[in-house]
Homo-oligomer: A and B are copies of this chain.
Amino acid sequence: MLFKNGEKILFTGDSVTDAGRARPVGIVGGLGSAYVAVISDFFGAFCPEMRLPVYNTGVSGNTSRDLLARFDEDVIALQPDTAVILIGANDVWRQYDYPDYTERHVYPEEYEQNLRAMIDKAQSAKIRVILMTPFYIEPNREDPMRKRMDEYGEIVKKLAKEYGVLCIDLQKPFDKYLQYRYPAFVVWDRVHPNRIGSMLIAREFLKAVGFDGFW
């Protein structure tokens, strides 16, 4: 697996990551109830010998602008070996649910700058970066918010390539899954995956990092 025994893995981002985690960052209830917890469950249940502590510093409602503003405190200062960043859903969503409050929008150019700043900070601190693409669980690729989200996903992929960091495309597994089920089965608002959606994200992450312990 990508991680060595005992390495600290920190996930950060918005409400998809946060999922009701306890504050301040801690061990009791500290992982929230979504994909971060499921990944930690897999580690704990199926490769306990690796001793991989998992942290979650997602904050609901955050855009990349908000995350950058607290990146020193909520990522760098915690000194993880790996930082997994999943951000961008709110950068895009605000353009669609609060289209008139433009001060809340984060457009692609700024999004890219914010991501670059975060990656630079992390790499300066010798933290391995993993990027995950923001996603929108909408099967119609011509849907305007879906198209917009795809643009942001492309930025993530471009930067991952440029910086040479691992990139996990989370849109892809949902697209594949939606061939079998309607979005309402895994998500109530096409943004926040339910338990089943979290399982799908967890599997995608585990595959990407070379976890191989389920059976």
Shortest Cβ gap from A203 to chain B (Å): 7
* Copies of this protein chain in the complex: 8
Q: Are B195 and A98 in contact (CB under 8 A)?
A: no
CB neighbours of A199 from chain B (8 A): 41-42, 44-46
Count residues of A near B (Cβ-Cβ below 8 Å): 46
Q: Are B45 and A203 in contact (CB under 8 A)?
A: yes
Given contacts A93-B184, A196-B44, contact A52 B100 (CB under 8 A): yes
When the two chains form the complex, which single residue of B6, B99, B214 contacts A181, counting CB atoms closer than 8 Å? B99
**Interface residue? A188 (CB, 8 A):** yes
Residues 41-81 of chain A: 1 if any B CB is under 8 Å from the residue's CB, otherwise 0? 11011101101110000000000000000000000000000
- With both beta carbons as reference points, the residue of chain B lying nearest to A61 in the complex is identified as B28
Provide the main secondary structure of the chain A interface: helix
Q: Are A142 and B140 in contact (CB under 8 A)?
A: yes
Q: Are A97 and B185 in contact (CB under 8 A)?
A: yes
Tell me, in angstroms, the Cα distance from A53 to B100 when the chains sit together: 5
Given contacts A49-B180, A185-B48, A195-B41, contact A98 B215 (CB under 8 A): no
**Interface residue? A163 (CB, 8 A):** no
Tell me, in angstroms, the Cα distance from A143 to B102 when the chains sit together: 30
Shortest Cβ gap from A9 to chain B (Å): 10
Of A49, A93, A140, the most chain B CB neighbours within 10 A belong to A140
Q: Are B27 and A101 in contact (CB under 8 A)?
A: yes
**Interface residue? A96 (CB, 8 A):** yes
CB neighbours of A6 from chain B (8 A): 100, 102
| 12 A-B contacts (beta carbon < 8 Å) | A6-B102, A37-B195, A44-B181, A44-B185, A44-B186, A44-B195, A48-B181, A96-B184, A139-B143, A140-B142, A203-B215, A207-B215
Kindly list 9 other residue pairs between chains A and B, CB separation below 8 angstroms, not including A48-B185, A53-B98. Answer: A6-B102, A27-B101, A37-B195, A45-B196, A48-B177, A140-B143, A144-B182, A145-B182, A188-B188
